[in-house]
Structure formats: C-alpha cells, structure tokens
Chain A
Amino acid sequence: MTNDYQRAGSLRTSGSGAPELRTPQKLMVFVLSMALFGLANIILEIIPDVTIGPVDISVAYFVFVPLAMVALFSPFWAALGAPLGEIVFVDLLMGDFSGLSEVEGYLQMFLALYIAGSLIRNPRSRTQIWLGAILVVVIDKFLSAIVDLAKVWLALEDPEYVEGLPESILFLEGIGFGVDIVMSGILFGAIPAMWLIPALHGKIEPLLGMRPRVPGEPIPGQAPRTGWFVAVAVLLSIAAAFFAFIEAWDLNVGEWEPDFLDQFGMNFLWVSVGAIVVVLGLAYLAYRAGRKRDGESQARLQAEADEAVALAERERREESIHS
C-alpha cells in the first residue's frame, strides 16, 4: 500500500515550536502503548502454540504493535508503557505473574524497544523499520539467552552435574533464538510493521494532539535528564541480572550435594540479595538526584497546583454562603 499524502502532516508541523511533550501527552503515549501491547498479548494467548517435538514454533509477541508505537511517538514513554501492558493485561489477569523475573522481563523489553525506537529516525523508511523490528527481538531474546547460557556455563564447572541437561539447554536456546527471530522478528514484526507504520504515520498523531515525527528533527519527548536516566537504567539492569542469577542458581543448586549447600550455598544467595539491595539503593539515589535537578519544573507545577486548589476552595466557600 503506498501512501503519498503527506500534506496534512507537514502543514501542521512546520515550525510549531519546541519538540517537548507536556505531561498529558506523555500520559497518552504511555497509556496507548500499554493498552495496545496488552491487547496484542491477549490475542496471542487465545491462539494456540504450535509445538514440533520439544521446539516451540510460536510467536513470542506481536513486535509490530510496540514497534509502531516507538517509531511514531516518543520512544521513551512508549517503551515504558508497552511491557507494563504485558504484565498488567496478561500476567496479572491470567495469574501468570512470576514475581522477580517480571522485573527482568520488563527491563529487557523496555531497553529493546527504546533502542529500536531511537534508531528509527524516519518512520517511512522500510530499511529502518526492518532493522528496528529485528533489533527488538535480538536485544530482548539475547539478554535472556545470555542469562540462560551463563546458567549452563556455571553448571558445567561441576563434574557431578547430571548429564544431558547442559547440551539440551544449549540446543534449545539456539533453536529457540532462531525461531524467535524468524517468527516474532520478521513474520509478525518487520513485515506487518513495514505496512502499518507508514500507514499510521501522520494519521494517528493528530488524534492525540501531537505533531508527527519528521526525519531530521529531534525526537519529541526524549528521556528526561539523560545522564541520570542512563545511570538508573544501567543500575536497574544490573539488579535484574542478579534477580535472574538467583533463579538460575536455583536450578543448579538442586543438582548439587546438600553439604556443598551448607558450606557455600546460602552465602552465595545472601551475597546476591545484598548486591540487589545495594544496587537498588544506588538506583534510587540516582533517581532522587535526577529529580532534584528537575526541581525548577517541579516547583512550577507545584505553584500551579496550589493556585488551582486555592481557587477550588474559594469557590466551595462561596457556594456554601449562597446555599
């Protein structure tokens, strides 16, 4: 489908000021991204998975839905919303919420989508859309594959390890990675996105009262306080990796001897827990520091809020006199 009608978009956008998003607009992008990715996941739940032997030929997610969001709107807010949609709609509602590993999954998906969305500078370029779609799957699945492979590597150190499991996990990881790239990245990622993103570009943004993304202009609504944001993101990913390692270690320790567990096992666990606490604390401090730098706009919002509250209270007092 070709779509050359660009006038509506370009006329409205030319020179209309700073590409900064206001709070309601961020909220809209966040909620839209969350709702759409959640819906896509629910639809995937209804479709049965095809399994050939131990290999799962299924679609992990409809990548084209969040990809369209990050390509058309602010990548930061769209990427923040999409994985939350998956957690809220599918995992909580279906009782599939797995606690710690949800944190890991959220961060992986967020990073993958944010990077892909920042990469796509021109929403009408098919090459960039293809790159973005495959990148999302590669980053997301590669991070989880690293965790799984590290688990196998740890286990191989131990000669007592039950035979057959490391090879099988390696084998399944490799096959699964390939299947995911083809099924999720290309068939349900790049190919639909190649049609959907140009079709929506310039049409959906006015519905939210925003200007479309135009190549060559800065992307609206970039991550706030970039330096601090990167620090928080990196710290959170380290914490997520430790979460994952606790789980990974868990599979291995089931194989080890109980006396080994007594000597060494629980210490390792407590060290990991300690590391998570320290890293989360650092992330929180970095977040607070970032917020403090943001104090000026916060103060302005506070002043506006005070004014509105004062107005409302005065109105209420006057009303009570009249009645």
Chain B
Amino acid sequence: MLRKQRDVLSVEWIKLELIRTAYATRGGMFSRRDPRAVLVWYLIMAFVPWFTHNVTVLAVLFVIAAIGVFLARVGPLVLGLFIIGIGFEIFYLILVSLMFGGNLGTLAALGVVNLKLGIISMASMAAFVSLDPEKLSDALLAFKMPELFAFGVSYGYRMLPIMVEEFNTVFDGFRLRMAPPEKRGFLGWRTVVHWAKMAILSFYPIFLNTAKNVRTTVEALETRGFTYATVDGRGRSIRLGQMRMGTVDWLLLVVTVALVVGAFAAGQAWPLYR
C-alpha cells in the first residue's frame, strides 16, 4: 500500500496510522502467522534479554529483533516514535550524568541498558503491529487469559480510532464556540491554558457518549451470550477452533530459538562485558 500522506505530520495522519496499526493492514510476515506463534515469539524476545549482561549476546538479539521489525513492516509513525524516544532517553541520561561528574563508564553502562530496552520494544512493535484485535484476543484466550482481558484488548483496538475521531469533533466544537484569549501572554501561556481548558471540557460530552456506546456494546454482547460463554467451556472451544499451527509457524519458533541459542553460543565464544 502506498502512503502518500507520509510527508504531512498532522493529527489526521497519526489517526490514519493508528488505524493501520490497529488493523494490521500493512501485511508482513508475522500477520500471516498463527497468533499463538507470534505471541510466543514475542515472549521469547521479551524475556531472554534479562538473563544476560554479555554485550555480544545483546547485540545479536538486537539484530534478531531488528529483522523482526523489518519483516513485520512496522510503520513510520511507530518506528519514528521509538527512535526519537530511545535517542532522547540516552541524550538526557548522558547530559545529567556529565552534569554531576560522571564519565564515559556511565555512558557505556547506560548504553547496555538501552540496548536491552531497545530489543524488547522492537519485539513488541513487530508482534503487536502484526496482530489484529480479533487474532490477539483469540491468542490471549488460547493462553487462558481472563475473558474480560481478551475482550478489553479487542474492544480497545476497535474503538480507539472512533473515539479519537469523536474527541476531535467535540474539541472542534469547543474551538468554534469559545473565543481565543485576546492576548497571548508570556510564552503564549494564555493560549496554552485555553487549549488545556478546552481539552478538559471536551471530556464531559465524551464521558456521556462513551457511556452510551459501552452500554450498547455490552447489551449486544449479552444478547449473544457473553457471560454464559465464559461459564461454559464449549463457547471458548468453538471460538478457538479455527486456529491452526502450520509448518511455517513451528519453523518460526524453531528458527528463533536456534538463533537465540546461537546468540548465547557467540557470547560464550567472544564474551564482552562492560
């Protein structure tokens, strides 16, 4: 899919990007896999980095996670936020530790910690960008998570774009009705206060609207037997019946485990601590 709005950084673009992320319409390798395999892949990548301090191992894991991000076709918004976030984190920590008389040793140590966090963030980007709400909640159910949690995840993914849209409309309504402050004040603080006030005021109608939406949703769920389905195991098995672990899914997990073991072997061969 071509993204023509890429050069325009606006709220509208962010919204579109969120919808694309939420519905996993980008394609990519992970979106065709069984959701359980993707979750297990994520868990491996999220837990393994905590069990080592060997920079060689971490570097190899970082490369594996980066390949995952590439295969999952993570979008520019999410990736950009990640890079900016990790960059600023390192920058400020350097600044602060230099201010209080630290040295290059501090930097190296912080670099290792950020490498770990980077691996985990990239793994989560790759995994969750590729799972649409339906698949994610099915996978969570398959792992015996509470029904309420699985439902919350899929509801959240679906409703988010609608709710952002609704908030935007209400906010624009307040902008039309309220006069902006006459003087901007020092550093435009009056404008900032005005915007904050409008954002807070917008929550009153949003609370009431969302309450109505939620009631409709829950009533629709109850009509279809949501509570009963949590009591009776058969509902769950019907819902999970369509999931299949294919050859490629198993292959993904085997290759990942092999790569992780390989990373630790490389760490044994060329250990590098800092």
A binds B: yes
Q: How large is the interface on A (under 10, 10 to 19, 20 to 34, 35 or more residues)?
A: 35 or more
**Contact between chains at B214 and A164 (CB < 8 Å):** no
Determine whether B156 belongs to the interface, using a CB cutoff of 8 Å to chain A: yes
CA of A82 to CA of B155, assembled, Å? 14
B5 CB, nearest partner CB in chain A, Å: 16
Q: Does A64 contact B (CB under 8 A)?
A: yes
Q: Does chain A have a CB within 8 A of B66?
A: no
Q: Determine the chain A residues whose CB is within 8 A of the CB of B53 once the complex forms.
A: 250, 253-254, 261, 265
Given A51-B92, A196-B204, A209-B215, 14 more pairs with CB closer than 8 A: A24-B227, A28-B215, A31-B151, A34-B156, A85-B152, A93-B22, A99-B46, A163-B100, A200-B204, A200-B208, A254-B110, A254-B112, A258-B273, A305-B228
Interface pair B206/A36, CB less than 8 Å apart: yes
- In the bound assembly, the distance between CA atoms of A94 and B124 in angstroms comes to 9
CB proximity of A90 to chain B, nearest CB, Å? 10
Smallest distance from the beta carbon of B155 to chain A beta carbons, Å? 6
Residue from B11, B160, B231 in contact with A301 in the complex, judged by beta carbons closer than 8 Å: B231
The range of chain B's interface size is 35 or more
Say whether A42 faces chain B, with CB atoms less than 8 Å apart. yes
8 Å CB interface, A84-100 against B? 84-85, 88-89, 92-100
CB pair A95–B225 under 8 Å, yes or no, is no
Residues 77 to 124 of chain B near chain A (Cβ within 8 Å) = 78-79, 81-82, 85, 92, 95-103, 105-106, 108-110, 112-113, 116-117, 120-121, 124
A208 near B208: Cβ-Cβ < 8 Å: no
A42 close to B164 (CB less than 8 A): yes
Selecting from B26-34, B216-224, B239-247, the interface stretch reads: B216-224
B215 and A309: CB pair below 8 A? no
CB distance from A281 to the nearest CB of B (A): 15
Residues of chain A lying within 8 A (CB to CB) of residue B11: 46
Is A123 an interface residue, CB under 8 A from the partner? no
| Contact of A185 with B by CB under 8 A | no
Selecting from A13-21, A133-141, A165-173, A228-236, the interface stretch reads A165-173
Does B47 count as interface, using CB distance less than 8 angstroms? yes
Interface residues of A in 158-209 (CB under 8 A from B): 162-165, 167-168, 171-172, 187-188, 192, 196, 199-200, 203-204, 207-209
Q: Check B155 against A254 for contact (C-beta < 8 Å).
A: no
Q: Which residues of B contact A96 (CB under 8 A)?
A: 81-82, 85, 121, 124
Binding site for A on B (CB under 8 A): 11, 14, 18, 21-22, 46-47, 50-51, 53, 74, 78-79, 81-82, 85, 92, 95-103, 105-106, 108-110, 112-113, 116-117, 120-121, 124-125, 128-129, 148-149, 151-153, 155-157, 159-160, 163-164, 167, 196, 199-200, 203-204, 206-208, 210-212, 214-215, 217-219, 221-222, 225-228, 231-232, 234, 273-274
**CB pairs A–B below 8 angstroms (27 shown):** A27-B151, A31-B151, A32-B211, A34-B155, A39-B160, A39-B164, A39-B206, A39-B210, A92-B128, A93-B18, A93-B22, A93-B128, A93-B157, A95-B78, A95-B82, A95-B128, A98-B120, A162-B102, A162-B109, A165-B97, A168-B97, A196-B207, A207-B211, A208-B211, A251-B109, A269-B51, A305-B228
Query: Is A204 touching B208 in the complex (CB atoms < 8 A)?
Result: yes
Contact A164 B231 (CB under 8 A): no
Quick check: B99 and A94 within 8 Å, CB to CB? no
